[in-house]
Structure 1
């Protein structure tokens, strides 16, 4: 089988498994008569199936392991590591500052010294989780799509679509409704629409920083920092007016989303400039 045909087949297989595994997990929980939550067998199926599929395709599907970007490339990517650590704290700080200035966000309970141990405690489990998640979305699907096409818009589209559909059972079933409502109190239908846009925008930024650095560790750090900042809202360090969450929610607000889109497109511009200079 020709390499491109094999890669296309494996991407299709992986994508099908990824977008169905969560719902299979929900079905397993129902068959067992157990509630679907983050501690259920169904959640384990949802979380583990993409990485297992990637491993099987690399071992037995002809993909191999040579293109797994494990080298950290610290020397070449010093500024991108700083970017990966800083981008979410900076954008979220700007968003909450804007919200506070307009009276949409109450940060009176925030204390850096009180929040720092919360951030540190949250970071390690998120880092471990994202070692698996980013090995799948950037370390496999993005790499394989890059091999199939040099049209980055198609890469964004496929990765974002599969990443979002994989998330749906997590958002709609496994994740506690009350916890989700602290970030987005507008109901499931609007949430699915907004979260799809968010993941699409994030995919541009993640793809471009990955293409610039070719470092899996770097995107793991960036994703982990984003996840570790969730206690800002969930633990009440910043309280957002429910009617303004669509504007200033750190994860789903329009203001941070526009900033991330600008960052992603700027990173794309940097990469394109480097590519032109190398010709």
Structure 2
């Protein structure tokens, strides 16, 4: 089997495996009399189910199997930091989510779409929680980005597909993995707190959002050839946004959540897509410059 056929086969196995494991997790929970998912929540430390844990770790399990036994190997797997020539991209990765979130909060506050609720929480308290979040989310995102960027994106790039196909495939496989999470594990109240829509609508909106994010994540990986800037970016997303909402520091008005939801709103999604396309333009110029030197 040639390399292209092997890569295509393994990507298909990866996509199917990750999708099926979520539903297997659901059946495991059913057999354990845990069908009432409104009581499960999304935090494993607070009693997440065995099925939810299986869903979370299934991409990592599949990646290890395919790298070890499926012929993908561990060489050039995206774990080297490549810091020397990518310091600027590391800095950009660190700043993307805080900058976009601050921009959305300012715009939302100006239009009445976002309100500050808890004035008793000081900046010092928020920064303290932010650092705790960074420490914990960093570990979690090593596992995530070693799958979605260091493996999936890395393998798709080897197929020499067009940029658009790569963005769509990464976004589709990344989000289809979320299907059992959205449709079963996530409670309706948790969905409503993010966006006041039904599960199906939320899933479709989420696919658009994740595909736009994939432009940014894919382009950073293409330039740096390492997962670590993406681990940093993903960590900052979780660490900056989660405390603002979970601690009740601010609230997004339901009538304007489609625009200003910090996770899936139109405004932040457009900003993230703009960042991704700007980085893509930067990459293209670098490639043209390298060709001109030859």
How does the TM-score come out when normalised to structure 1?
0.95
Equivalent in the alignment of 1:118: 129
Equivalent in the alignment of 1:230: 242
Deviation for aligned residue 1:98: 0.5
Q: Does 2:167 match 1:138?
A: no
Q: Does 2:179 match 1:168?
A: yes
Equivalent in the alignment of 2:61: 52
Decide which of 65, 71, 82 is 2:80's aligned counterpart: 71
Equivalent in the alignment of 1:267: 279
Equivalent in the alignment of 1:13: 13
Q: Does 2:243 match 1:245?
A: no
Q: Deviations over 1:175-212 (max 9, x none)?
A: 34333322212222321121111001000110001111
Q: Which moved more, 1:53-62 or 1:225-234?
A: 225-234
Deviation for aligned residue 1:94: 0.4
Q: Does 2:112 match 1:106?
A: no
8 Å CA contact 1:183–1:233 kept in 2: the answer is: no
Counterpart CA distance in 1 for 2:186 and 2:140 is: 16
Counterpart CA distance in 1 for 2:181 and 2:242 is: 16
8 Å CA contact 1:149–1:155 kept in 2: the answer is: no
Counterpart CA distance in 1 for 2:193 and 2:125 is: 20
Determine helix, strand or coil for the equivalent of 1:239: strand
TM superposition outliers: structure 1 runs of 4+ over 6 Å: none
User: What count of residue pairs does the alignment treat as equivalent?
Assistant: 279
Deviation for aligned residue 1:124: 2.1
Q: Does 2:255 match 1:255?
A: no
RMSD: 1.4
Gap regions ≥5 residues in structure 1: none
Deviation for aligned residue 1:261: 1.0
Counterpart CA distance in 2 for 1:132 and 1:166 is: 15
Deviation for aligned residue 1:108: 5.2
Q: Deviations over 1:42-70 (max 9, x none)?
A: 01110111111110111111111002111
Q: Does 2:136 match 1:159?
A: no
8 Å CA contact 1:156–1:200 kept in 2: the answer is: yes
Counterpart CA distance in 2 for 1:170 and 1:117 is: 30
Deviation for aligned residue 1:163: 0.5
Determine helix, strand or coil for the equivalent of 1:230: helix
